[in-house]
Amino acid sequence: MMKSSSPLSREPAIASSPSVICQALTFQVQNYRFALPLGAIVRIVQGRSAQSSQRDLIQFHAGSPMQLFEGEPLPILDLRMALVEASSTLPLSSTADTMAQTMDALFLLIVRLPSYQCCGLAVDRLPKIQPLSLTQCRRLPEFYRHKIANLASHAVVQESETDTDTSILFLLDLQSLQSNSLATYSDWKDL
pLDDT digits (tens, 9 = 90+) for 43-69: 998 865 544 444 444 444 445 577 777
Would residue 43 count as lying in a domain? yes
Name the CA radius of gyration of the chain, rounded: 17
| Backbone φ, ψ for residue 5 (5° rounding) | -85, 45
Would residue 52 count as lying in a domain? yes
Taking only the tens place, the pLDDT of each residue in 107-165 is 889 999 888 888 888 888 899 999 998 888 999 999 989 888 889 999 998 876 666 66
Domain that holds residue 169: 21-183
C-alpha–C-alpha distance, residues 34 and 89, integer Å: 21
Would residue 3 count as lying in a domain? no
- Regarding predicted confidence, which is higher, 13 or 22? 22
**With contact defined as beta carbons under 8 Å apart, do 172 and 35 qualify?**
yes
Would residue 92 count as lying in a domain? yes
Would residue 4 count as lying in a domain? no
Would residue 112 count as lying in a domain? yes
Would residue 6 count as lying in a domain? no
- The structural domain count of the chain equals 1
Would residue 15 count as lying in a domain? no
pTM: 0.71
Beta strands in 64-144 (DSSP E): 64-69, 72-77, 107-112, 118-123, 128-133, 137-139
C-alpha–C-alpha distance, residues 109 and 90, integer Å: 26
